[in-house]
Chain A
Amino acid sequence: MERRDFLKTTGAGVAAFTASQALPGFAQQSADLGIIRNPVLVKIFLRGGQDQLNTIVPYRDKTYYGIRPTIHIPESESIPLDNQWAFHPALEPLKAWYDKGRVAAVVNSGSPNGTRSHFDAQDFMEYAAPGNRTIYDGWLNRYLKATANPRGEDPYRIRALAMQERLPRSMRGKYPAVAVPSNLNEMDEVLDVFEKFYGQGEPEKLPFTLKGLEKKGGPEKSKKLKGLAGTVADANVAEDPVMASGKYTISYLRRLKELLYAKPETTYGSSREIGIGGEGVAQEYPGGWFSSRMQALARVIKADAGLQVAATDIGGWDHHIGLGGLDGTLNRMLTFFAASLAAFMEDLGPHLDRTLILVSTEFGRVCAENGNDGSDHGHGGLTWLMGGNVRGGRIYGRWTGLEPSELFQNRDLNVTTDFRQIYADVLRKHMGFEPPEGFFPDFTPAERGLGLFT
């Protein structure tokens, strides 16, 4: 049986019971308990080793066309950025954002560790600890833990969210980050019935605001609710931890579901009303799973629910076969990648200023094509930064050309920018967090940084 079917039927089975038991709309109980307007980091991992050369093309370099005779991007088709670099045509939706100075990329970035194993390279990057096997918490988890409330987190705040079923390794660790259950949309009945066993989830304590609701709830009600929010730690002292997690689960998932899936017209009025001053702009997304994820994520960010770190993966960049030029797998994937992110940035509106999108891959691919219209595991690759206060509209990173003597082991792009320096800059300049000594094991990021931010 398909997992989705299982989950669907599970939900259906309790529908009969809960129809008469529907709780008053969660939204109606929430109220304006203060805006949490913090910087947000959206981490996107391109799994499989994303190819740099066909994505941001060194279009003036003759060697490029020589070593990729069948899969290069013809100069006539690529989108020039300056007199060295050009976008793959599928990145067209990002070009406007690049021109507006909101998109930047670092070429030849990656891990100094030369492994070509996906397994190791991804681990090293998500731990931000190449070659180090003594770390078991992902780098985002370490950040979350370092900045957590020592008294226990406010249970009604969504600080960290993986927009997929399982936490990526970068978010796994001691801090209890949450992955969105794939069937969240069908969970109402189960949550309602088990509330009877685990107790009321007290959703009215939520400290987030939806502008559209203020009118309904009214300011009086919201004042009364101020200061009610407890913490998980507090709850545990007085209460059995199993009961406490049951309650937490119920309230957390209800809120999450509302944020992620509620149809704007039925719950919030128009989506223009979501977020600060209704500035969020309803936006056409291109469709597809990645697009839906980003759309849902935009909704969470705009709702000021306290989100600080979100992550999602796009798998399938391991293009040994059929990477292709204008018409291969890379083209197809860059198309939805670029269109979804462009829509996401548009959708965020003013929230884009506090939202940074960081895109990495475990390594780039071999410069020369192989015999299968593809390319094998390489070394240096691309890191993207979008939104926030990125000093965009330019391509960063030291380029060392394509002469074999200049390549890593005579075949791959060199790594001239350590990804940890980029991560450190993001934490410092965007998140306002100074990574303590040892945060990046065996690596001390340069104080001066790479100048990626204004």
Chain B
Amino acid sequence: MIDLRSSAGHWLCSVTASIALSLVFAASAFAADKDDVTVATKERPNFGREARAGMQIINRDPEAPLNDREKIFHALSRFSFGPTPGMIDAVQKQGIDAWFDEQLKAREDEPRTLQSQLDALESLTLTNQQILVKYNPPIPPELSNLARLTPEQRRERARLMAMKEIPRQELRDAVLLLAVSSPNRVREASCDFWRNHFNIDVSKGQVRYYATTYERDVIRYDALGTFERMLNRQARHPAMLIYLDNFISRAIPEGELMEAARKAYVESRDYGTVLEAIDIAKQKGLNENYGRELMELHTLGVDNYYTQDDVIAVSEALTGWTVQQDPKQPIAFVFTPAMHAFGARTVLNVKLPANPRNGEAEGQAVIDMLVKHPGTADFIAYKMCRHFVNDRPSPDMVKRVAAAFHKGNKTDLKATFKAILDDPEFNDPANYQTKFKRPFEFVVSALRATGAEVASTNGLHHVLLTLNEPIYQCEDPTGYYDQADVWRDPGVMAARWQFGIGLAMGWIEGVNLPNSTWEGLEENNPLQWKEVLSKRILPMGHTAQTDAALDEVIGHYAKFNPKPNELGRYIVGLLLGSPEFQRQ
């Protein structure tokens, strides 16, 4: 039986010391940073340095270049949803460059536990049609009037309705499980980025039945492939065609135009009015939603290079790109000439010829042009740097990454990732631990840092919903925001803290800390637990304030004579909620 009073006494000394220290540090850090901030903001549009004022890790000079371990931690933070216990050592042994090169090949099989979890999700390997047939059973007419059902009929109806939920449930399970446990870390990080870039929402119409193949055959298929192919594949995928309405976008048949013209003539007897009526009629069939987002969100960026006329021209070029309606055929992309507005047009000041024999080629010409457009390289590089490097990436770095992306019009994503990692600015201390984790990143990194065992995912999906980032449910085609400002809402911030505590205490359904968490924790020595656990969760250290806060909490708990897997759990929860763990 240990003397708790002595440990509490020790705790008190330590608190006093840390508080004193933190005051000294805080004061000097603030004074030193003040001048720096002015210089930094003038010379480069990079606020990393400024953002870290008042947030000094014990024994780390914020100006010092990253050492090898820090570089590894930094790379794993950005390209791996953070390290798992022991991962930094392993990568250090291998060397970060060798690790990254191996990652870019993404050849590793999923480990057995993960694979068996994935195998249990039966919809993952099916085709669109198989999913639709299996999970969208027709509701028999006798079950349609809810008010007049017997209890048995109600149950049957509920069962059929529940079937419809399965594909999207299994999809989000797969996304989460792979993000947490797949050994192909960079591929998963890339999937997360592109899933948001080419956003679809399973809440819209039939999208839920086709999102599974979208994730598999578009996002995952090319996460380490080429942008060109991913762009082409998403443009032809039923989920995207439905989500952004292109499947209904069509040229108005001539008969309807004639009728509109005739009507306008009868009413007005005015040539101008007739032309106007024809224009209006034309617009009725055209849906600009996809044409616009293809430029605004997928390639060039908002208001870059294109005008409203371009939006209309691109939308027209893509009319007839729709989803197979014949129930005997697979549910897939089909080009329907009857819906297509054939003709020559000008897009982004380039004249594109008509192709009366092959209308699909008219839309293809637009996509090809967008792939090669330097504006696309700039926009994609900017977004990737924003995601993987800094909320406000430096224009110089964006330029270099864009060049790697654009090289030989290959839009090669491996080369682009490599360019980001190898860029001299990537390891700038101003980028180190300065990005606020999005909720998804936060949850996944917490599961990884704790080595948590995920037996089922419902609890985690609840958490993601509470944190406003449920998987594949972003309603806006923009995808979830990448920058910190959007995620600092008080409700979301508090929910992060609660998740950290809940995860550690074992209150999240289906999620448990492994027994190895308590290995090496000495009985009745809570301060030693703090040392061990903080090194695991925050391997690169923490601030004096965090240290003092931990000491204070531990001091109070010490009175209750806790066991490692009692107070130790709580310490883990606090570490997950600490300011340090909110960043990557």
- Report which A residues bind B (CB closer than 8 A): 1, 3, 6-7, 9-11, 13-14, 16-17, 20-21, 117, 119, 123, 133-134, 136, 165-166, 169, 176, 178-181, 183, 187, 190-191, 193-194, 196-199, 237-243, 245-246, 248-249, 252-253, 256, 321-322, 371-373
Contacts and interface: CB of A to CB of B under 8 A. Distances in A.
Interface in B17-64: 30, 50-55
A295 B226 CA distance: 55
B289 A198 contact: no
Contacts of A117: 205
Interface string B448-472: 0000000000110010001010000
B249 to A, nearest CB: 13
Interface stretch (B331-339, B359-367, B572-580): B572-580
B144 A321 contact: yes
Nearest 4 CB-CB pairs, A to B? A196-B549, A1-B509, A245-B488, A249-B490
Nearest to B491: A181
A70 to B, nearest CB: 11
Interface in B495-512: 495, 497-498, 501-502, 505, 507-509
A174 B459 CA distance: 29
A293 to B, nearest CB: 15
Contact of A321 (B147, B289, B582): B147
Given A196-B549, A246-B493, A17 B557 contact: yes
Given A133-B289, A187-B494, A252-B490, A17 B553 contact: yes
Given A13-B507, A178-B489, A239-B54, A373 B289 contact: no
B549 A165 contact: no
A303 B293 CA distance: 44
B54 A238 contact: yes
A181 B570 contact: no
Contact of A6 (B204, B296, B502): B502
Given A176-B488, A248-B490, A372-B147, A243 B54 contact: yes
Nearest to B487: A245
A181 B204 CA distance: 26
A16 B494 contact: no
A178 B54 contact: no
Interface in B102-148: 144-147
A245 B486 CA distance: 11
B93 interface: no
A130 to B, nearest CB: 14
B275 interface: no
Contact of B494 (A1, A123, A253, A322): A253
B502 A9 contact: yes
A207 B221 CA distance: 54
5 contacts: A3-B462, A123-B475, A133-B477, A136-B476, A239-B54
B462 A6 contact: yes
Contacts of A20: 556
B147 A373 contact: yes
A322 B145 CA distance: 8
The majority secondary structure among interface residues of chain B is: helix
A183 B499 CA distance: 13
B488 A6 contact: no
Contacts of B478: 136
Given A119-B204, A373-B147, 16 more contacts: A1-B459, A6-B508, A9-B502, A17-B570, A133-B477, A165-B491, A176-B489, A179-B489, A181-B495, A238-B53, A240-B53, A241-B484, A242-B484, A243-B579, A252-B490, A321-B147
B51 A241 contact: yes
Contacts of A180: 491
Nearest to A196: B549
Given A6-B502, A246-B579, A119 B507 contact: no
B184 interface: no
B288 interface: yes
B545 interface: yes
A190 B494 contact: yes
A191 B496 CA distance: 11
A6 B509 contact: yes
B44 to A, nearest CB: 18
A197 B30 CA distance: 18
Interface in B410-448: 436
Interface centre among A196, A199, A237, A242 (most CB of B within 10 A): A242
B145 A372 contact: yes
A191 B494 contact: yes
Contacts of A321: 144-147
Nearest to A373: B147
Contacts of B50: 237
Nearest to A244: B488
A249 B488 CA distance: 9
A181 B496 CA distance: 12
B493 A245 contact: yes
Interface string B547-558: 011001100110
B311 to A, nearest CB: 9
A305 to B, nearest CB: 14
Contacts of A252: 490
Nearest to B478: A136
A166 B489 CA distance: 11
Nearest to B287: A133
A115 B497 CA distance: 42
Interface string B134-169: 000000000011110000000000000000000000
A191 to B, nearest CB: 7
B319 interface: no
A133 B292 contact: yes
A322 B296 CA distance: 44
B284 to A, nearest CB: 11
Contact of A3 (B53, B466, B497, B579): B466
Contacts of A16: 557, 560
A136 B474 CA distance: 12
Interface centre among A14, A183, A373 (most CB of B within 10 A): A14
Contacts of A183: 498
Contacts of A238: 30, 53-54
Contact of A322 (B51, B146, B458): B146
